[in-house]
Amino acid sequence: MQKNKYRIHSNVLFEIAQSRSFTEKDNIEERFDEEGKIKLLSDRAGADLSLSIVKTEDGIAYSVKWDDSEEVFKGWNMAWEEFIWCLGVVNKPLEEAAKKAAEEAKRRAAEEALLAEENAELEEAVAEEASTEEASAEESSK
């Protein structure tokens, strides 16, 4: 199972955001920080990418922030798509590096297996030669 490339900061709020609009019953007012945001998601790569619930003049919206740029969306779907797109951009170099590392490890393992096989054959040949010499020495001494 592949680990998520993002961290969920509040499962309950994340599930609500995905399925419906927030209501007073959800009691999220007390969760807003001094900037009027509640962080829902962030990337695991450390690229300062986040998706937050924000208070706006029009009510609750979603903010996707990446480094020094920030976009605000009224609906969850657009914010989610933007977050996932940014996450893909952030993680692409990491995935490529991991793929190269895996290929290199596979190549090294194949080389090591080949060397081990060659060493085993060499040891077998040396042992066979030693036993042949030993047998010859025994025959000569008779």
Q: What is the pLDDT of residue 17?
A: 82
Specify if 51 maps to a domain.
Answer: yes
**Residues of the domain holding 92:** 6-105
- Terminal Cα distance for the chain, rounded: 69
Q: In the chain, at which residue ranges do the beta strands (DSSP E only) sit?
A: 6-8, 37-43, 49-56, 59-66, 69-73
Does the residue 136 lie in any domain? no
pLDDT score of 88: 85
pLDDT of amino acid 94:
58
Identify the pLDDT of residue 82: 92
pLDDT at 4: 67
Whether 126 is covered by a domain: the verdict is: no
Residue 16 within any structural domain of the chain: yes
Average pLDDT, the chain: 81
What is the pLDDT, as a whole number, of residue 96? 65
Tally of domains in the chain: 1
141: in domain: no
Q: What is the pLDDT of residue 2?
A: 46
Query: Domain for residue 17, yes or no?
Result: yes
Q: How many CB atoms lie within 10 A of CB 62?
A: 23
Q: Is residue 134 part of a domain?
A: no
CB 50 within 8 A of CB 87: no
Q: Judge whether 101 lies within some domain.
A: yes
Tell the burial category of 86 from Cβ atoms under 10 Å away from its Cβ (0-12, 13-18, 19+). buried
Assigned token pair, 18: 């995905």
Low-confidence ranges of the chain (pLDDT < 70): 1-4, 22-24, 47, 93-99, 101, 141-142
